[in-house]
A and B are shown apart, each in its own frame.
Chain A
Amino acid sequence: MTQKLFDIAGIGQERLHLAWVSSAEAQRFVEVVIDATESVKAKGEFDPKAFEYELAAAEMTLSGETLRWMVGKEVKITSKGDVYGRKWDVENFEIILDAVLEREYQKNLIYKAVKEGHTSVRDIHKKIGLDLKRISYLLADLEKTNKVEFTGMKDRIPVFAVL
């Protein structure tokens, strides 16, 4: 999931590797390490300053309640069923999980942008490059959950602030 998020954030999942190596497989360990360093090399140097917003949003997303709950409930919902007794396919569940991941990430990115003083939809768009419509839609969502509030109009432009 973190790899998927890295792709959404534009960091690239090539920077994050997960592998299983047993204690007796020294040769395999060497292969894994070479493999990982090669793909990191292909991506080049990583500049954390350029990805400040993305990293902050990723952190908020991965430590946030929504995803932790969803991941924690996955086995139960796909094997025993949800509260209505409906059993979900793993595939369907993962589709929804991916959508939630992207949505939460975008919401957190907007939250971060508003917090840093980009208070209008256009300002946020300029900073994070997300679609204008999507930003307004997610801002409404952030308002509903009391993360962001509408503070008024300034030169006929709606202004937002974090709570």
Chain B
Amino acid sequence: MNLESLAFLCNWCAYAGADLAGVSRLQYPPSIRTVRVMCSGRVDPMFVLEAFKDGCDGVLVAG
């Protein structure tokens, strides 16, 4: 079973955190696909619904 989640990451916080996680070679699940947004406030509920409509199994918004 291949589950895919979409992650909206804030450019200044979580995206940098994800970058650091990569640089420090921390392991995290490969099933997330990231979308960089300039601020997590940019994420509209419509984006989330659109993701589910296109068949994502989960959505994470991190700021």
Contact = CB atoms under 8 A, between A and B. Distances in A.
A36 B5 contact: yes
Contacts of B26: 26-27, 30
A17 to B, nearest CB: 4
A1 to B, nearest CB: 8
Interface residues of B, number: 37
A58 B51 CA distance: 13
- Identify whether the interface residues of A are mostly helix, strand, loop, or mixed: helix
A23 B7 CA distance: 15
A26 B20 contact: yes
Interface string A1-45: 110000000010011111111111111111011101101110111
Contact of B53 (A22, A55, A63): A55
Contacts of A30: 21, 26-28
B55 A46 contact: yes
Nearest to B7: A33
B46 A59 contact: yes
Contact of B60 (A25, A33, A62): A33
A48 interface: yes
Contacts of B56: 46
Interface residues of A, number: 40
Interface string A44-80: 1111100100010011001100000000000000000
Contact of A26 (B17, B52, B57, B58): B17
B52 A33 contact: no
A83 B28 CA distance: 51
Interface of B: 1, 3, 5, 7, 12-18, 20-21, 23-24, 26-29, 31-32, 45-46, 48-49, 52-63
Interface of A: 1-2, 11, 14-30, 32-34, 36-37, 39-41, 43-48, 51, 55, 58-59, 62-63
29 contacts: A1-B45, A2-B45, A15-B57, A17-B60, A17-B62, A19-B60, A21-B13, A23-B13, A24-B17, A25-B17, A26-B18, A26-B23, A26-B24, A29-B17, A29-B18, A30-B28, A33-B28, A34-B29, A36-B58, A37-B58, A39-B58, A43-B57, A43-B58, A44-B3, A45-B57, A48-B54, A55-B49, A59-B46, A62-B45
